[in-house]
Structure 1
Amino acid sequence: MTTSPSRRDSHQTDDHRAAGPRAMAEAYTFSARPTGSNQQSAAMDQAYADVVLLSQALSKSKRVTERMTGLLRTFDDRLVRLEKSVVGINRSTTGLSKTQKNVEAALVAIDALLGGHDSLERERAIITKGPRDDTTAYMASMTRLVTSLKQTGSITLNGPFQQTGVNSHESAAQMSSLLETGAKQIVQLFTAQVREASPERGIDLRGQTAETAQFPPIPAARMDSLRQLAAFVQKLPSPANRLDVEMQKAYGEIRGKFMAASLEPVAKQVVDFASSQQPLMTMPIWMDLFFAFGRSEYQLASSVFAPYAASFIFKQVVPPSLALFAETGQSINAIIKKDVSSSVAVAFEVYAALKTREDRFEELIRSKSGRRENELVDLAHAFRGSCLRSLPEFLEETRAWGIKQLTPTESMSAAIATMTVSVINFLRQLSLYQDAAEGFLQTLGDGNWTFGASRPGPTATRSKGQSLLSKYSDDVFYTLLGALDARTKSLRTQRAGVAAIFLLNNLTYVRREIHSSGIDDVLSEQCEDELNKRNRTAKAAYLEIIGPLVGCLMDAAPETGLLKTGLGAVGVGTGGRDRAEVKDRFARFNEALEEIENLHATAKLASTEPELKARLQDETNRMVLPTYKAFFNKHKTGEFTKNPSRYLRVDPDQLQARLNALYQ
């Protein structure tokens, strides 16, 4: 049966409603769509249906959101109620924790009280035996003691002993006493190890300088042990850790004695050499050794102990060496005062050395040790006084030496005089330390360095603008020349030949030393001219000693009274008178030659003057050999005597050899 359109539409509408919103929308759209509408109207209907569907979906989402919000509010309320329950439980737990800690502390205290006696006896057995070779076990025992004391509350680390209760006090006091005993034994072990590494005899520094000396360090294994012991005692609680200071003092005293023992033999050499004028070991060299040794000891102390303790330790190290330093300087100064002429050069050298080392002394010794005393300044002041006194005293001693009576030994010696050497050394020191010497002379005043009797004669004239040092040096030079002249006169009265050789030796030495050093810088030109003139005179006086050899071969002509030399002097006939004269000449020649040889054996030319010897040898040969050779050849047949060997003792070659031997 055919269904009508309206009925068909009604059935479609019911079906769409049953199919859901989208189906209804589609049905509505379809039913509402006019028959034969265009394509644009269909698109609009489709869009409208989509909007309706979206609106329905949003409504459904809103309902779901509201339901979830309600659930979350319910959960929040439940969490608040749960938090209130947890806070109560937490408060109960905190109280229980405190109770637990109190119980544990009480148990620890009870254990300490119950086991303290056993622990104390156990550690006492270890500590009373001493550390011996096993320091690790010993220090572990002491560490357990410290822990026990901390547990009883009797101490805090690095803190003092505290009384905590009547029952525990006695045990804690015993532990503390035992701990201090152990610390003392560690200090004793430390001291023994330091002493073992620091022999009492020191090290041999004789012949050494600051550049060549080696200061042997403490062996590495021993250093590790010393560091470990020092650090352990320092970390102990009071009063045991107070022994750290005792340990530092012991170390400083032992190393100080070791340092002084090493420097003492060198100091003795310095004093001995100052007495004998030997420049093998001088005060400046000793001071440099002292500074180098001190620097080494300071570094060593800094490596054994904490750096902050180095100054305190070094203050214990240096006193013995400083006392030795002051004593050595005072001994040298006493030598200078006792014999100014021989030691005045040493005074200038030591004074200059002290002044130039003031900064090093301040930096290396005083500042690092924190000392107020200044031994170097005190010595410098003392030597300054000696230098000032030495200027006039040296002139007076030089003058007095010239007129001093000769000893038997001096009367037969032509050696370079000790006073001559002293004057040259003194002038050399003046040239080396011109500024200091000029300052001393300004303190004395122009010309105030001479006494009336020692004031040089008119030869020592002054030039305009001449410095005080040059004036004084000229006075010293002319005083020496005057003393040598006086000495030569005394020698001449006993043996003329010795006097001539003595004067020649000394003047030659003075001339050579002045030209080879800086002495001529402080002397005027007048001094050099005077010295050259006196050297020529002394050389001529020496050649007069050789003159008798030639005089024996010379012939006096009665008719003229003139002396003829050379071949003319040997023209002797064969008569009896002539033969006697030939014998006499040979005899006198041989006698004169022996006398000259004996003279040179006693009064030798200075071995330090090879150039002088070479010149004198050449001139002697030229003066003697030609005449003797001619005379010898004339009479070598021996016709003038029945015993030729008695007179013809040497031929020309033998004579030359014997003459040359005088200058060897």
Structure 2
Amino acid sequence: MGTISTLEDTIQIGNKLEKETANFAVLKENVDKYNALSKNMSSILTTFEQRLGKLEQTILPVYNETEHLQQRQTNLETTIHCLETVLSHYDASQEVCNLIHLGPSEGNITTFLDALDKLKRAKDYFLNNNSQSVELENVTSLFNTGCESLNNHFKALLKKHSCPMKPVDLLDLIYIEEDSSNEDCSSIKQLSPNTREELNVIANWLEQNLRREYKDIYSEERSDVVFRSLQHLKDHQKSGSWGNEPLKARHYGRVESKKSTSARLQNIFEKKANKMLLRASQTIEQSTGFSIKKNVSHGDHLATEDHSDGDQELDKYLVLLLGLQRLLVWERTLLNDIVPPSQQPDVFLKLAENSIDLVIKDAESITNRILRSISRKEWSAALGIFSALKRVILLQPDIDRTCDLRQKEQLNKVLNKLQQTGAKTLEQFLEAVKADSGTNIVGMTASTLSGSSVPKDATVYELTSNTIWFIEHLFEHFDVIGGILQQDPGYINAIDSITVRKSFSSEERNKALLGVYIRKVLAELNLTIVNKCEQYGDTATKHLFRLNNVHYVLKSLQQSNLLDLVRIVEPECERSYLDIIGEMKLAYQRSWSKLLGYISPLDELPRPINGKVKEKERAIIKERFSNFNKEFEEACKIQRGISVPDVILREGLKRDNAEHIIPKYNRFFETYSDVQFSKNPEKYVKYRPQDVNAMLTNLFDDSVV
């Protein structure tokens, strides 16, 4: 079994060997074939490479020559183009000469500008390549002529489509068109979109070519339009119809009813005040979450002011200032449409210069007139300065948005001049109260005697009533007056001493500043009243004069907002006046002391026994009755002619007199009226107690005989 198995394995191994030997022979045969193919391919590639190299050596010179020929062709074409360009530069002056001399025409500016561009290119060529050429002079001269024609055309276009606004149109713009779009302005309508586009094209071309004469042309032409518009408005204001024109309606062709100029201005500035309030409210609400109430410093005061008797010259000036602001807004719009942005500030500055000067000179004229009124103590005319100042301040944000820095500085002269005049008004009024020159302090008919004499009837002195009138009107303008007074270190120090104890808002600070001023005025008024009462000959009249005036001041302060204003800086103001009134009443009662000295005290007089007195005592009683009668009659005669305008004060004084005099006289009368001290007792016992009471009741009434 073992042998058989070994034989089978040998047979299998032999078969596998034969099979592998056959496979090896086949593989060797294939390898030989592959080697043969590789040699053939290598031979073919070598041959191809040799032929390709020969072809390259043959074609490369041809290619290089072709490239050189193409470069020569390009150079030739470039040279021909340059020659054509150079020739065109030489021909430029002849080609465009007629067009340049004819000048540009409206609506067809592009052709003319193309001609100028051609001359510009020719000029640049000759300058860079042949500066000695005659053609340089020709194209330069023709180019300058064209630019001059272009400037003239620019000017002609502006003149043709620009003219001053009619006064009624400008007033319509001022009074009605505050919220209208730019296109609603008749000044804008004068320059149509096509005209503005053509002017813009010209201006940009001139700017690119550094020909900036157009700036002066534009500023001069539009400056003239604005200036003449304002001048026409001024001339119109001098006419009798100014201030009563019916306004144009913006819808349905209706005409609004006539309003006074003051009413229209009030409406405009109320809107501005409300807008300022709204912006301030929104700012505060956004930052803090709190809203603010309506600001009484602008809107309410504008509404409560009585403008019917306002200063018409100030109204006219405010209209002029509003007109300037409106016109400059529209000019700014035109400028944006026509002049390149880089040149707009300079052009706008020149454009507005003359008109701003006009407004500034008018402001100086008005303030000088008000200063003359101040020198004449015509304070009612001077009060208008505060209303004007308030409105100029309201207009300031619009001016700031419209004008450049230098223009704002110029127009600030108006504000400064008004503030200086307001400060002068306050200062001079205080001096007038202090000096009391006897002039007509508010420009009304004087009720006092000539000079600085006090009233005969010891009533309220005209200085007192007019001072109260003046400071009551100042309260309407506490906001602007506060701004004026804070320039004075004395007022600032007074406020600083108060703010140590209490913090103030801006509005409260302005009221406090005015309160300091009113306190000064009242102090000077009180001192003047004390000095003036010395002009009276008798003591009672002196006290009654001072009492009348001090009482009038206190009641006026109580009935207006002034007392609260003064309390900010003088908390005990009311108490001080009440104390003075009490002292004056007591002083007046003491003026009866001489009279009462004749009838009291009874202990110092003879005592009758059984209705009789001694012989030597009769003379004393006669003298006492006689002196009382004489003193009483003289006092009643004087005091019947004294006026006490306030009913409560007057009746209180009468009651005090009766309580002070009647009881004492009644005791004296009861004691001595039946005593036999004279053969003619009726000569001495002239008045019964009821007669004395009746005569006292008739005091302060010069109508009683």
Give 2:349's match in structure 1, choosing from 315, 324, 341.
Answer: 315
Q: Deviations over 1:235-264 (max 9, x none)?
A: 159978333323332354235426744875
Give 1:204's match in structure 2, choosing from 157, 171, 176.
Answer: 171
Give 2:373's match in structure 1, choosing from 312, 323, 339.
Answer: 339
The answer to whether the 8 Å contact 1:333/1:383 transfers is yes
What's the offset of the Cα at 1:311?
0.5
State the partner residue of 2:431: 393
What's the offset of the Cα at 1:113?
5.1
State the partner residue of 2:633: none
State the partner residue of 2:142: 175
What's the offset of the Cα at 1:49?
0.7
Q: Distance in 2 between matches of 1:511 and 1:369?
A: 46
Find the residue that maps to 1:249 and give its secondary structure. Answer: helix
Residues 297 and 258 of structure 1, relative CA distance in 2, 3 Å threshold: farther
- State, as a whole percentage, how many aligned pairs show the same letter: 8
Give 2:22's match in structure 1, choosing from 35, 38, 45.
Answer: 45
Name the TM-score, length of structure 2 as normaliser: 0.52
Q: Distance in 2 between matches of 1:135 and 1:541?
A: 86
Write the letter of the residue equivalent to 1:243.
E
State the partner residue of 1:219: 189
State the partner residue of 2:610: none
Give 2:202's match in structure 1, choosing from 224, 229, 232.
Answer: 232
State the partner residue of 1:97: 74
Q: Deviations over 1:72-125 (max 9, x none)?
A: 34324433542333223322442343334334443555566568536423x257
Residues 58 and 211 of structure 1, relative CA distance in 2, 3 Å threshold: same
Give 1:86's match in structure 2, choosing from 41, 48, 63.
Answer: 63
The answer to whether the 8 Å contact 1:348/1:433 transfers is yes
State the partner residue of 1:185: 152
Write the letter of the residue equivalent to 2:370.
I
CA-based RMSD of the aligned residues comes to 6.1
Residues 476 and 173 of structure 1, relative CA distance in 2, 3 Å threshold: same
Q: Is 1:440 the counterpart of 2:417 in the alignment? A: no
State the partner residue of 1:247: 217
Q: Deviations over 1:35-68 (max 9, x none)?
A: 9952563255225413431342243134313422
Residues 73 and 63 of structure 1, relative CA distance in 2, 3 Å threshold: same
What's the offset of the Cα at 1:442?
1.1
State the partner residue of 1:117: 94
Find the residue that maps to 1:339 and give its secondary structure. Answer: helix
Q: Is 1:424 the counterpart of 2:472 in the alignment? A: yes
The answer to whether the 8 Å contact 1:275/1:335 transfers is no
Give 2:113's match in structure 1, choosing from 143, 159, 180.
Answer: 143
What 5-or-longer segments of structure 1 have no aligned partner? 1-33, 447-465, 494-500, 548-557, 564-591, 597-664
Residues 279 and 242 of structure 1, relative CA distance in 2, 3 Å threshold: closer
Write the letter of the residue equivalent to 2:421.
F
State the partner residue of 1:56: 33
1:631-650 equivalent positions in 2, closer than 5 A: none
Give 1:539's match in structure 2, choosing from 640, 646, 650.
Answer: 646
The answer to whether the 8 Å contact 2:206/2:214 transfers is no
Give 1:154's match in structure 2, choosing from 123, 132, 143.
Answer: 123
Residues 107 and 418 of structure 1, relative CA distance in 2, 3 Å threshold: same
State the partner residue of 2:257: none
Q: Distance in 1 between matches of 2:179 and 2:77?
A: 72
Q: Deviations over 1:345-375 (max 9, x none)?
A: 4455666777898898677534265978963
Find the residue that maps to 1:538 and give its secondary structure. Answer: coil
Q: Distance in 2 between matches of 1:372 and 1:161?
A: 48
State the partner residue of 2:227: 257
Q: Deviations over 1:576-626 (max 9, x none)?
A: xxxxxxxxxxxxxxxx9xx99xxxxxxxxxxxxxxxxxxxxxxxxxxxxxx
1:581-592 equivalent positions in 2, closer than 5 A: none
Q: Distance in 2 between matches of 1:192 and 1:378?
A: 37
Write the letter of the residue equivalent to 1:426.
L
Q: Distance in 2 between matches of 1:343 and 1:263?
A: 24
1:618-637 equivalent positions in 2, closer than 5 A: none
Residues 370 and 179 of structure 1, relative CA distance in 2, 3 Å threshold: farther
What's the offset of the Cα at 1:183?
0.4
State the partner residue of 1:330: 364
Q: Deviations over 1:527-568 (max 9, x none)?
A: 76489999x952329999xx9xxxxxxxxxx997858xxxxx
Q: Which structure is larger by alpha-carbon Rg, 1 or 2? A: 1
Q: Is 1:71 the counterpart of 2:68 in the alignment? A: no
1:566-577 equivalent positions in 2, closer than 5 A: none
Q: Distance in 2 between matches of 1:439 and 1:48?
A: 126
Residues 330 and 92 of structure 1, relative CA distance in 2, 3 Å threshold: same
